[in-house]
Amino acid sequence: MALAQQLRLYKPTPPSDDDDDDEEQRIEAAQQPADRFRPKRAAVLICLFEGDDGEFRVILTKRSSRLSTHSGEVSLPGGKAEETDADDAETATREAKEEIGLDPKLVNIVTCLEPFLSKHLLRVIPVIGILSNKKDFNPSPNADEVEDVFDAPLEMFLRDENRRWEEREWMGDKYLIHFFDYEMNDKKYVIWGLTAGILIRAASIVYERAPGFVEQTPKFKLPRIMLKDTFMP
């Protein structure tokens, strides 16, 4: 697939505020042992496939209302890294298998994007994979984690249609949170926050054009001292 060849050439640029070893040591040195905090790593899978009309679509989930965090929200399959994971791709595909029954063998991993900072200060790595035949995938959502599995056109995240936004502030910098309203099979979804931000970036790379609206993403910055309950607004 031409898209796979295109994306393999993409090389993410690490954000200037990403924490290398020196940064992690600085954070630890600035904190008392009881409050010491190291941002954990996570990965999400942007699983793309070709729709009936030739458009690129992405697989999404609606999280279970029983979950303690982000309950009922739309998200990409994924989760926190485990020590046994070889890399971010393994984290993303392992979580996708656990959450929606997606066999990693069906997904061709092509690239990773720049890290994003989640509300709870997780370092989230988006992993792009291509599902060559959607018919090979029969969703089997884990009821404890996932309420619904659906897909949406990737290009919608470049359009100003059905989009709302809110302005927030993080460490002195203002940024926008985007909300996309989407309906499929008589079900209504709102794709927003981190998930929307990741998909705006992914769509920009896949379609090689900027979104038709002001993006204004939050800067990847970590406070010098972070308590366990520190989070982005």
pLDDT, tens digit, for every residue of 103-129?
999 999 999 999 998 877 889 999 999
Q: Residue 35: which of 229, 231, 232 has the closest Cα?
A: 229
Q: Is pLDDT of 24 > 50? A: no
Three-state DSSP class for 105? helix
Rounded Cα gap, residues 24 and 26, in angstroms = 5
Q: Is residue 19 part of a domain?
A: no
Q: pLDDT band at residue 134, thresholds of 50, 70 and 90?
A: very high
Q: Is pLDDT of 204 > 90? A: yes
Q: Residue 119: which of 218, 34, 25 has the closest Cα?
A: 218
Q: Is residue 7 part of a domain?
A: no
How many CB atoms are closer than 10 A to CB 41?
Answer: 16
Rounded Cα gap, residues 18 and 222, in angstroms = 8
Q: Is residue 86 part of a domain?
A: yes
Rounded Cα gap, residues 126 and 109, in angstroms = 11
User: The CATH number of the domain where 92 resides is what?
Assistant: 3.90.79.10
- Assign 3-class secondary structure to 11-62: CCCCCCCCCCHHHHHHHHHCCCHHHCCCCCEEEEEEEEEECCCCCEEEEEEE
Q: Is residue 2 part of a domain?
A: no
Question: How many domains in the chain?
Answer: 1
Supply the pLDDT for residue 21.
Answer: 46
Q: Is residue 143 part of a domain?
A: yes
**Average pLDDT, stretch 163-183?**
91
For the chain, what's the residue count? 233
**Counts of helices then strands in the chain (DSSP H, E):** 4, 11
Question: Could you tell me the pTM of the whole model?
Answer: 0.85
Q: Is residue 149 part of a domain?
A: yes
Of residues 159 and 21, which shows the higher confidence score? 159
Three-state DSSP class for 202? helix
Supply the pLDDT for residue 72.
Answer: 80
Supply the pLDDT for residue 113.
Answer: 96
Residues 6+ apart with CB under 8 A from 144: 64, 66
Supply the pLDDT for residue 20.
Answer: 45
Supply the pLDDT for residue 223.
Answer: 56
Rounded Cα gap, residues 180 and 66, in angstroms = 23
Q: Could you tell me the residue range of the domain that residue 142 belongs to?
A: 38-223
Rounded Cα gap, residues 26 and 230, in angstroms = 18
Q: Is residue 1 part of a domain?
A: no
